[in-house]
Structure 1
Amino acid sequence: MRWFPRLCTLLALLGATAVRGDELAARVVLLANSEDRDSVRVAEHYAEVRGVPRENIVTLPMPLSETISWAEFVRTIWEPLAVELMRARWIDAIPMRLTDAVGRTKRAVSGHRIAYLVVCRGVPLRIAHDPALYEPVLPFTNNSIFRTNAGAVDSELGLLANPGYAINAFVPNALHRNDAPSAFERAAVIKVSRLDGPTVDDALGLVDRAVAAEQTGLLGRAYVDLGGNHPDGDRWLESVVRQLREAGFDLDVDRTPSTLRATARFDAPVLYFGWYAGAVNGPFKLPGFRFPPGAIALHIHSYSAQTLRSAEANWCGPLIARGVTATVGNVFEPYLQLTHRPDLLLRALLRGDTFGDAACYSQPVLSWQAIAIGDPLFRPFARAATDSEPGEVPSQRLAGYAVVREMLALEAAKRPDEALVLARRTQRDQPSFAVGLALAQRLKAAGDESGAADAVGFVPLLDSYRSDEWALAREAANLLRGAGRAPAAIEVFDRLLRSPGMPAGVKSAWLPDAIAAADAAKDLQRAENWRQELRTLEPRRAESAGSPPRQSRPGGRDARVPNGGAAAAEPATPAVRDVEGQRSD
């Protein structure tokens, strides 16, 4: 009965989380475009899944385009939404008869009771710069890169309870990195998150995947891709690396000048943090690639959320289309210091914050370019993955990652023998790539190559491999060859290299290993066939094996805006143009 106290504690924690979640759900307001039936559908689905009262859904007729003018924004979104929120007493305010230069009604606001404002697919995404509305906002517009009023719709709506702010440049976020905000600071900001994506099903899936992950905890591995050309970005990501290690995640870190290559191990990426390429590439582009439920992924780039209607352009849309549960991005050039801080986002999530709170905590400014995409009520670390029972996990494949994390926890507690016992028992009863390779790597490091081969001995028996298992199958085959089991290695390579949709560059990168296995097995015919295939593919190898190098200008050039809104100094290198005077994005 040793498990009983643990079960009681877990149920108590989950019960407390549910109570808090219900209370928060009652204070969620959903904004949908009445001109778009899918927009209303997303709002209604979210309300049903999360228990949000239907009367909290606000539908307004809006333009159907992603980019709108300031006049359209004020007329169709800001003003009618503010009126509705005041009518329903979500915002306590007294309207005046005066309007500001943008056309917004002036109001005396005393506070709000909105936990999160959820913007649904169909609500416009971006507001274009209007030169006629431009006025300097000192000290910010001393810096030429902030002489714009272009911005994200969501970022402007974050200031609905703070009317009268200047729309040019940005407004410091009172909740950024604020661990103990005052009532006044909380009242100044509305936390905004968006349910959006290339298709309506993508948007609907954001909440479904969040709820599924909360039942099991995050199941998968973590990946950090750094090595950019600006120290601040890499420093943030190094902090992410430390936090993930301390949290006990099985982790891969890439510090090469290029982004992750298509040949890299990238199975079950439930956490991904990277930069800096213009569009999704590398392992994300492999056929059939999907994130596991609950995955949080972000790629720092100036225009990562320029559009959310494409499954291939930029980053946010493609990540959502491939099954990510939560992400952040930028609709226009934000400049590096004014993007969401990945280290702060992770810090807040790991301590148990909701995605809506963590995104706001990590966002330095409002009335600017950053948006958060995902269910704001999503609390990814409300439950540890190692607390899941086998029947609760949607697949044996994902269950293996919880076992690997438990192995890492045992090793951190100086109990490596118990970790090996756990791995052997799991691999005997429910073999998986994750546990098999974890066990094999440890046995090989201890000099037991035969035991390592035994740990992956199930791999030749599999009928096929998923695209995110290709790199694992190749590693298993090499372990088998190294242990003198070349015929088994050949079987793995043969099945692997015949995988549908494998890019030519990936295949040519792995053919030398297959040839070595065939040579070791003295399978002359297969070795010659693979050599011939390699000769045919070699000219195409450079085109498709990996990912492009990172762009020369990282995540929006350093804006050097100190926390708290001090004057921004001009960067040493021009922010908008590179040394040749051309846009590099």
Structure 2
Amino acid sequence: MHYRFALAALLAWLPFTEAAALSAVSAGREVVVVFNTRMAGSEGVARHYAAARQVPDEQVIGLELSLTEEIARVDYELWLAKPLAYELQKRGLWKLGKVVRAITNATDLREVELPVESQIRYVVLCYGVPLKIKADPTWKDPGDDLWPPELRRNEAAVDSELATLPLPPELRKATGLIRNTAYTTTNSAWLHPTNGILLVTRLDGPSAEIARGLVDAALRAETNGWWGRAYCDARGLHDPNFKLGEDWMIGAHELCRIAGLDSVLDTNAATFPPGFPLSHIAFYAGWYDADVSGPLAADTVEFMPGAFAYHLHSFSAASLRTRDRHWAGPLLARGAACTMGSVYEPYLSGTPDIGVFTARWLLNNFTFGEAAYAAQQALSWQTTVVGDPLYRAFAWHPQLLHMKLENLGRPEIAWSHIRVVNLMQLRGTPLLQLTAYLQGLEMTRTNALLQEKLGDLHAAVGKPESTVLAWRRALEFEPSPMQRLRLRLKLAEALTAQGRDADALDNGLALRREFPRRPGQLELCQQLLPLARKLGRAELAAELEAEIQRRLPPPPATNAPVSAP
């Protein structure tokens, strides 16, 4: 019964396209890989990716480029854009032809040259290829003065500028932005050079090793499933000027739930605090800190294989070669497999629509590259896209993946069972039936993930003792550090609500012992002290009192004069 239940849930799941999985074998032929011949490690990243995705050797191109992340526009044109366009035509990767296009308005029709056939759709820029094009006040294009002052700029992300390479020169202007006609498309085939767009992403990061690992992480997720939890960090804003970003974060959360993930939505004004238990991160989206912060700034972050992580900020990707400044570089350094970010000020509407991205990547089964560009309203603008463009979060049909994991005895099958429960819950299946499903699985008895989920279901149907029992059992079966922290925090709340003072005290002491460097130790001791006194634990109470005194901040200094003796 449980097996049929699982397969029925997954069969009714996402609008998965069989063609997506079948095309993965030949997708490498749609990719051109570009590396910097002057940067150590760049070619190694390129060759590694080409081997992993079966990109033909003739589609790996080395160019002599600057060693800096920021380049002048004239250098971008001279050393990157024009040589790449030349190589694409010379190697027969696309064919140019004459067509008639509207240029300045609907009646300004001109014959222009652009790709009429193209074997390739993706360009992968490898570690060492410059990231951004700096502003050039001397660069002038016809019609520059028509842009409003805030858009009368010609700095841009290299990725976003190169995405417009299929457009004829008459339409490819440096100043301002170019409207992305593929924004919100649900037809992935539209994202094609013959429609004026190249899907440009990069394998990059603080080191060549990190850049190499991005495709490896994507392939691991495609092989055994993209699993984990989602965390969306909104700000609880009601200001109309920021409503767009808030709606995107909330929308991403809801879409992750529809995809079957356990998703956490935070609506506090501040970002996730340092002690927040982010465990098993498959998807993270948040805003709006300048530099990596909270639990994501820790030395170790629990990113799952293939994890996507994105923080909306005007300069979130101002540099990718840093591990502790901005966001994109630090997220990659801590294990995220793909991200996006802004290299210069984009303004809110010029950042990726994370709601559209989530829908296309998780629900429409777009590749990462397709989803990233379907989510952008503007090209020739400020967004860089980092990760394997061919990566699909759901590369397998969910039914087939579930059966594969069960047959192979893979531990990831626990996540598939959790997704079954979440999807059936969304369809209105009674919670008691879902509880029975988990209880009927042999694996649940010894699995921390399934025991925690069982406890959550017990809590939802109002069974407090069963809730505590399941969460305590989860602690016995090697939860990850952040799952252990979350379980301790949930148990603290549940035990206090049930008036189980002795158990609440023991749990709090375990929390203090297991996470001695977690922020909030003073507050924890202050919470435990009344329980210790109430239970007659005099020695423990004295210890807690001493610890509280040690951790209390010193009294403010006074400037009062000292009286003479």
CA distance in 2, matches of 1:316, 1:394: 32
Q: Match of 2:472, SS?
A: coil
- Matched with 1:439 is 454
- Matched with 1:188 is 196
CA distance in 2, matches of 1:166, 1:258: 39
Contact 2:250 2:265 in 1 (8 A): no
Compute the displacement of 1:17 (Å).
Answer: 3.7
- Matched with 2:129 is 123
Matching residue's letter, 1:108: E
CA distance in 2, matches of 1:250, 1:61: 46
- Matched with 2:106 is none
CA, structure 1 residues 514+43, in 2 after alignment: closer, same or farther (shift >3 Å)?
A: farther
CA deviations on 1:417-451 (whole Å, 9 max, x unpaired) are: 23112333458745444333332233244443322
CA distance in 1, matches of 2:115, 2:299: 53
Where in structure 2 are the equivalents of 1:6-405 lying within 5 Å? 16-93=19-96, 108-111=113-116, 112-135=118-141, 137=143, 141=147, 143-164=148-169, 165-180=172-187, 186-227=194-235, 228=237, 229=239, 230-349=242-361, 350-383=363-396, 387-388=401-402, 389-390=405-406, 395=411, 399-405=413-419
Matching residue's letter, 1:123: V
Contact 2:21 2:395 in 1 (8 A): no
Q: 2:470 aligns with which of 448, 455, 474?
A: 455
CA distance in 2, matches of 1:494, 1:210: 40
CA distance in 1, matches of 2:227, 2:478: 24
CA distance in 1, matches of 2:330, 2:410: 24
- Is 1:523 aligned to residue 531 of structure 2? no
CA distance in 2, matches of 1:515, 1:442: 32
Q: Match of 2:385, SS?
A: strand
Matching residue's letter, 2:92: R
- Matched with 1:532 is 546
Compute the displacement of 1:525 (Å).
Answer: 2.5
Compute the displacement of 1:252 (Å).
Answer: 1.3
CA deviations on 1:244-300 (whole Å, 9 max, x unpaired) are: 233332121111111112233421121112111111111212342131112122111
CA distance in 1, matches of 2:451, 2:444: 12
- Is 1:423 aligned to residue 438 of structure 2? yes
Compute the displacement of 1:355 (Å).
Answer: 0.6
Contact 1:287 1:502 in 2 (8 A): no
> TM-score, normalised on structure 1?
0.81
How many corresponding residue pairs?
524
Contact 1:340 1:370 in 2 (8 A): yes
CA, structure 1 residues 515+56, in 2 after alignment: closer, same or farther (shift >3 Å)?
A: farther
CA distance in 1, matches of 2:382, 2:216: 27
- Matched with 2:107 is none
Range that drifts further, 242-251 or 298-307: 242-251
CA distance in 2, matches of 1:393, 1:140: 63
Compute the displacement of 1:59 (Å).
Answer: 0.6
CA, structure 1 residues 463+113, in 2 after alignment: closer, same or farther (shift >3 Å)?
A: closer
CA distance in 2, matches of 1:464, 1:414: 28
CA distance in 2, matches of 1:444, 1:517: 24
Q: Match of 1:293, SS?
A: strand
Matching residue's letter, 1:119: L
Contact 1:459 1:473 in 2 (8 A): no
CA distance in 2, matches of 1:463, 1:90: 51
CA distance in 2, matches of 1:150, 1:446: 55
CA, structure 1 residues 527+406, in 2 after alignment: closer, same or farther (shift >3 Å)?
A: farther
Compute the displacement of 1:410 (Å).
Answer: 3.1
Contact 2:204 2:386 in 1 (8 A): yes
CA distance in 2, matches of 1:360, 1:462: 42
Q: Match of 1:312, SS?
A: coil
Compute the displacement of 1:522 (Å).
Answer: 4.1
Range that drifts further, 246-255 or 31-40: 246-255
Consecutive unaligned residues of structure 2, counting only runs of 5 or more, are 99-110, 555-565
Q: Match of 2:95, SS?
A: strand
Q: Match of 1:36, SS?
A: coil
Consecutive unaligned residues of structure 1, counting only runs of 5 or more, are 96-105, 541-585
Matching residue's letter, 1:188: G
CA, structure 1 residues 428+79, in 2 after alignment: closer, same or farther (shift >3 Å)?
A: closer
CA, structure 1 residues 48+352, in 2 after alignment: closer, same or farther (shift >3 Å)?
A: same
Matching residue's letter, 1:49: A
- Matched with 2:101 is none
CA, structure 1 residues 284+410, in 2 after alignment: closer, same or farther (shift >3 Å)?
A: same
CA deviations on 1:66-122 (whole Å, 9 max, x unpaired) are: 011112212221122122111101232389xxxxxxxxxx98323333121011111
CA distance in 1, matches of 2:215, 2:395: 16
Q: Match of 2:227, SS?
A: coil
CA distance in 2, matches of 1:57, 1:469: 45
Contact 2:132 2:155 in 1 (8 A): yes
Compute the displacement of 1:190 (Å).
Answer: 0.8
CA distance in 1, matches of 2:126, 2:218: 16
CA, structure 1 residues 39+429, in 2 after alignment: closer, same or farther (shift >3 Å)?
A: same
Compute the displacement of 1:459 (Å).
Answer: 5.4
Task: State, as a whole percentage, how many aligned pairs show the same letter.
Answer: 28
Matching residue's letter, 1:311: R
CA, structure 1 residues 455+135, in 2 after alignment: closer, same or farther (shift >3 Å)?
A: same
Contact 1:490 1:518 in 2 (8 A): yes
